Structure 1
Amino acid sequence: MDNPALGASPSRTQEVSRGVLWPLSGFSIDTLPEWLIWIVLVVEVGVRIAVLGIIPGNRRPATAMAWLLAIFFIPAIALPLFLLIGTNKLSRRRQDRQRVINEALLKATSHMDLTDHLLACGEQLRGTITLNRNLGAFPIHEGNHLRLLGEYEDAFEWMVEAIDSAQEYVHVLFYIMGDDPHYAGPVFDAMERAADRGVTVRLLYDHMGTMRVKGYRRLRRRLKASRIQHHAVLPVRPLKRRFSRLDLRNHRKIVVVDGERALTGSTNLIEPHYHRPSAVRSGRRWVELNVVASGPVVTGLDIVFASDWYTETEENIAERLGIDLQEDEDARGGSLVQVVPSGPGFPDENNLRLFNDLLYNAVHRVVICTPYLVPDDSLLYAVTGAAHRGVEVTLLVSERADQAVVHHAQQSYYEGLLEAGVRIHRYPAPDVLHAKFMLIDQDTMVIGSSNMDMRSFSLNLEVTLLIIDAAMVEQTDAVLAQYMEVSRPLTLEQWRQRPLRVRYLDNVCRLTAGLQ
């Protein structure tokens, strides 16, 4: 019998609801009618059963488990978040357009055989080329002439000179843009001059990446007042019917002039402090590395730009590109280069598969220079596996990344890497080493826009160049030597002595890496 002093005892339904429903509801339901509690109970159980069969589909097990744990323990937050950003693929419309482009490219280049130079390479390297061809559709070509631009100002000076020389068209794509009088401003001036003299200037920029920059509205007004054809890529338009995950971004950096000259690499179209007052106060600059090119690689970069233009604007500019596939096929000498596009428009993680393949094929040394290293299990095993089999593996990262969560997530991997024999060097703060390249042995390298993190593998549209050329590797080694001269080595003993609070933050932030 109920004790009047304690009040009426709760019904069996209310007792069950307290044990099951509280995570989803987030509020007390004791006062709800019993019939309503049963409805919520059915929904609660139904949601849990549904997510068990939905979330693991086509996801890494670690990613699926992270989402499931979040939804089971903090569903009121995690479930809406999953519905908002739980899929890492572009819309079906964009994926269909990318597939059409890949099929057309494969058909147009299906007659191209491996060059004699490539046939002299090892069987494993030829396998890497075939992997890239099947995933990203681009063949490999020799006849490319490449040059590194290691100083921040060099890339902007090159862009101004190249755009001022344009006769037919200029194609520009950047993740981040910001106007200023000394760096990006002169590039915008050159684009405006080119457009005014009748050159077709097409400009793409990532909406989310650029809209966060101070002065964005002023830049938009400048572009609208010019003859530059410009579009925001993957625009955030919550009121539009066409919706995709908010953090799917176009992270590529490409400049092509008349189909003859091109630039790609790590830099954005912005001054070296990235318009951040805190960076100006601390003296922090972003350290970049870019490559400028002529030869068949320009065709590949131009096609990547054209595919982004097509998916964003529905305008097919393929026939207006300065492309001569026969000339590309006949090119000889110079560097062997293959363009490798990647991103959520592709069914596979093209850049991750390339990096892993190269790591497993390395014989003597591997150098990884990246601002963000948050690997998935496959990349982590590839890096540590190379070190365990006697390959000299060197990792060069920033002492302090510009994003706190990524900084701590990255640090959570250092102990395991050091234990495996990976040598870690940290570029001194306050600067951010933003260069992105990997060297394999003495004749192979990759360079481009891709970081070594799961965002670049799954969420960002990236472009990477695979280069087979000992002379280019030697050029990059010279830049690397400059970085290493000022960097500080990190030892296992030193790292194990870090404060407990830092270790705790590292491990907590590592959990967020799984929510992709």
Structure 2
Amino acid sequence: MLVWITLLLLLFIFQAATILICEYKRPAKSIAWLSILFIFPIIGFFMYYFIARDYARRKKVHANNSDNANNSTLQSVLYNDSIDAKKGEDSSFLLGEERLRDWLRQVPHSPITGMNRVDVLTNADVTYEAMLEAIGKAQDHIHFEFYTIRDDAIGRRFQDALIAKAKAGVAVRVIYDGVGSHALSKAYITSLKRAGIAVEPFLKPLIAFFEKRLNYRNHRKIVVVDGLVGFVGGINIGNEYVGGNPKLGFWRDTHVMLHGDAVYDLQRTFLKDWFFVSGESLGEKRYYPAHSEQEPSFVQVISSGPDARWDAIQEMYFAGLIAAKKRIWITTPYFIPDPSITMALKSAAISGVDVRIILPFKADSAIVQYASKSYLKELLQVGVRFYLYRKGFIHAKVIIVDEIMSTVGTANVDMRSFFSNFELNAVMFDRHVISRLESDFLMDLEDCTEVTLTEFELRSPGEKRKERIARLLSPLF
């Protein structure tokens, strides 16, 4: 008996040591997995091995992340049209914020582009109509990538639109995430393929499980039409985004439509993902056509994922937060910040910056909501103001910093978006765009109730226990 106990103890120590060694860069994640291992000694390590091992260590990922696909064409077209190559230094760009500007310019393969038109699209009904209109005008190609595509009324509207363009001779390519679109029917996919549309999943759940990548999801939402118009933001394809979920009701979200230089970066990201899922390298100049936009609106498209050396979106968020002098306004459905973002928010609030964060009152995940609430007290104590959106479910991912920058995209303010998911954000510096996002934020505040520290302290002991447990596991959400 003593021998068996000793062997089991050694096995447990080996498992714990493996997690600590593999996750040494992220102590919070280590603690979360060690907690699971302690509760489920063998099963916990099995879960870790198949779900959470470091994505970037896999040879296949390094090969597919090499940027060899369409790199030469991209460099000659995208970077030569960027603000740095086209106009040189522009004294009006981030004037007085040289530190932030210089950091943003260091983000790999993410030039700050100068000739763009940006349209903010509030909620899915407006966004869907704009997307369908652009798809209907396509002449050469449509690139369509979403985390979730539903086989429902909304999904079939896009299905019909894509099939119609494919039959008209337009090249259509579709990427869907295997986990996020796990309920997408085979009939839906088959109908697309029969029309000549190239459809690829970003890791089917079963394949992802055995390749130990189940925890890594392509959370991007990209539409690019003819290389001239692009869309990015928080909205997927499904009825719930137009209020079709009876539990959540009205769905509040934000997307942006881009014309101009920034579309090249959306295109680059899609084609890189397409190379990963299909092995097909597409680098022809037809995918980066010349455009006629002359509006001097600065936009930077930043992608991030577990295959990259930079946690680019997390670092962009951090750089923006520490640059704030007057305000930081955030809307996010999931709020599980890592220690650096937490400290940046605390420091800003303590120094007198107006820090306001809108979160959903209704949640689509109870455990994530408990985890989010576990961060509120320490931030409320230093002056961060939280608001709960009560009109329905708020899913927008928006950050506004002073009058100098704003970002809209797919990344939440949570550790899954920062370190596990493949994400994509547009960072915008135009004051007209910032003003429009500011108006939406103020409109949303009217449908919120503010969380006060006094009221928050009145939570029941049971609620507090749930929050502590969820906080412990929050790095995994």
TM-score above 0.5: yes
Distance in 1, Cα, partners of 2:208 & 2:417: 27
- Provide the identity percentage: 27
Deviation at 1:41, TM superposition (A): 2.9
TM-score w.r.t. the length of structure 1 is 0.84
Question: 64, 83, 105: which is aligned to 1:97?
Answer: 64
Deviation at 1:426, TM superposition (A): 0.8
Contact 1:55–1:67 (CA under 8 A) maintained in structure 2: no
Which residue type is aligned with residue 257 of structure 2? Answer: V
Q: Which residue of 1 aligns with 2:198?
A: 229
Q: Which residue of 1 aligns with 2:92?
A: 120
Distance in 1, Cα, partners of 2:388 & 2:349: 19
Q: Which residue of 2 aligns with 1:205?
A: 176
Matches within 5 A, 1:323-362: 323-324=288-289, 332-362=294-324
Pairing 1:48–2:13 present? yes
Distance in 2, Cα, partners of 1:135 & 1:403: 33
Q: Which residue of 1 aligns with 2:343?
A: 381
Question: 159, 181, 191: which is aligned to 2:131?
Answer: 159
Contact 1:102–1:136 (CA under 8 A) maintained in structure 2: no
Deviation at 1:123, TM superposition (A): 7.3
Distance in 2, Cα, partners of 1:81 & 1:133: 39
SS of the residue corresponding to residue 148 of structure 1 reads strand
SS of the residue corresponding to residue 45 of structure 1 reads helix
SS of the residue corresponding to residue 55 of structure 2 reads coil
Distance in 2, Cα, partners of 1:441 & 1:398: 23
Question: 389, 411, 427: which is aligned to 1:466?
Answer: 427
Distance in 1, Cα, partners of 2:162 & 2:69: 30
Q: Deviations over 1:231-271 (max 9, x none)?
A: 11122234997x13212100001111000111111100111
Specify whether residues 273 and 435 from structure 1 end up closer, same or farther in structure 2 by C-alpha distance, changes over 3 A only: closer
SS of the residue corresponding to residue 85 of structure 1 reads helix
User: Greater Rg, structure 1 or structure 2?
Assistant: 1
SS of the residue corresponding to residue 317 of structure 1 reads coil
RMSD over aligned CA atoms reads 2.6
Q: Which residue of 2 aligns with 1:433?
A: 394
Q: Deviations over 1:54-107 (max 9, x none)?
A: 533443122223323433453122111111123141532123322335993785
SS of the residue corresponding to residue 367 of structure 1 reads strand
Distance in 2, Cα, partners of 1:126 & 1:51: 45
Unaligned runs of 5+ in 2: none
Q: Deviations over 1:408-465 (max 9, x none)?
A: 1001111111111011111006x21001110000131011010111111111100011
SS of the residue corresponding to residue 172 of structure 1 reads strand
Specify whether residues 267 and 239 from structure 1 end up closer, same or farther in structure 2 by C-alpha distance, changes over 3 A only: closer
Which residue type is aligned with residue 345 of structure 2? Answer: V
Distance in 2, Cα, partners of 1:425 & 1:275: 21
Contact 2:143–2:223 (CA under 8 A) maintained in structure 1: yes
Contact 1:128–1:357 (CA under 8 A) maintained in structure 2: yes
Matches within 5 A, 1:263-412: 263-272=231-240, 279-280=245-246, 282=247, 284-319=249-284, 321-324=286-289, 332-412=294-374
Contact 1:303–1:318 (CA under 8 A) maintained in structure 2: no
Contact 2:171–2:197 (CA under 8 A) maintained in structure 1: yes
Q: Which residue of 1 aligns with 2:229?
A: 261
Specify whether residues 238 and 255 from structure 1 end up closer, same or farther in structure 2 by C-alpha distance, changes over 3 A only: closer
Which residue type is aligned with residue 217 of structure 1? Answer: K
TM-score w.r.t. the length of structure 2 is 0.91
Question: 89, 95, 112: which is aligned to 1:140?
Answer: 112
Deviation at 1:117, TM superposition (A): 6.4
Specify whether residues 381 and 124 from structure 1 end up closer, same or farther in structure 2 by C-alpha distance, changes over 3 A only: farther
Q: Which residue of 2 aligns with 1:5?
A: none
Which residue type is aligned with residue 51 of structure 2? Answer: I
Distance in 2, Cα, partners of 1:60 & 1:124: 34
Question: 67, 91, 115: which is aligned to 2:33?
Answer: 67
Q: Deviations over 1:22-41 (max 9, x none)?
A: xxxxxxxxxxxxxxx35x73
Q: Deviations over 1:385-427 (max 9, x none)?
A: 1111111001011012211110110011111111110111110
Which residue type is aligned with residue 78 of structure 1? Answer: G
Contact 2:397–2:412 (CA under 8 A) maintained in structure 1: yes
